[in-house]
Amino acid sequence: MISRVMRTASAEVDLCRALYYRLVMDEGALNVTFGALADPTRRAILAKLAKGDASVLELAEPFDMSQPAISKHLKVLERAGLIARGRDAQRRPCRLDPRRLKQAADWIGTYRQFWEASYNRLDDYLQELQQKEKPRDVKKTRSHRRTR
């Protein structure tokens, strides 16, 4: 039991170091990425681009906004590194660039590891409590039978 606790503590220290690095070192890129993802219109644009390249007009179609407004959203996504724009004659198709999404998912995944470790510790503690309560339940049952 003690060695398992020590391994858990060591894993927590490693996890804290990883969290610190990701919070402090990658903060600028993450802030820009999450800022871009905060808007539902930009998330919808990314969802459409996940199906394939599209022009500005194609991206603007489902929204009740002007082409310049869509272009502003695209600039935010491009600055965040979430999309890239190409050139195809006069057309400038947009495409999804998944690298920043992966970085954001990895960052969120770090917290997933933290919560899973916390839940595992809670499970261990609850099992320990249940094992301690079993002898008490047996004693109560025996004394209860004696009173009948």
Q: What is the CATH number of domain 2-147?
A: 1.10.10.10
More confident residue, 79 or 143: 79
Sign of the CA dihedral 10, 15, 20, 21? Answer: positive
Q: What is the mean pLDDT of residues 29-50?
A: 94
Please state whether the predicted TM-score (pTM) of the whole model is above 0.75: no
Q: Is 26 exposed, middle or buried (0-12, 13-18, 19+ CB in 10 A)?
A: middle
What residue spans define the domains of the chain? 2-147
Residue 143's pLDDT is 54
Query: Looking at the predicted structure, is the pLDDT value of residue 142 above 60?
Result: no
pLDDT, one tens digit per residue, over 2-25 is 555 555 566 666 766 666 655 554
Query: Looking at the predicted structure, is the pLDDT value of residue 90 above 70?
Result: yes
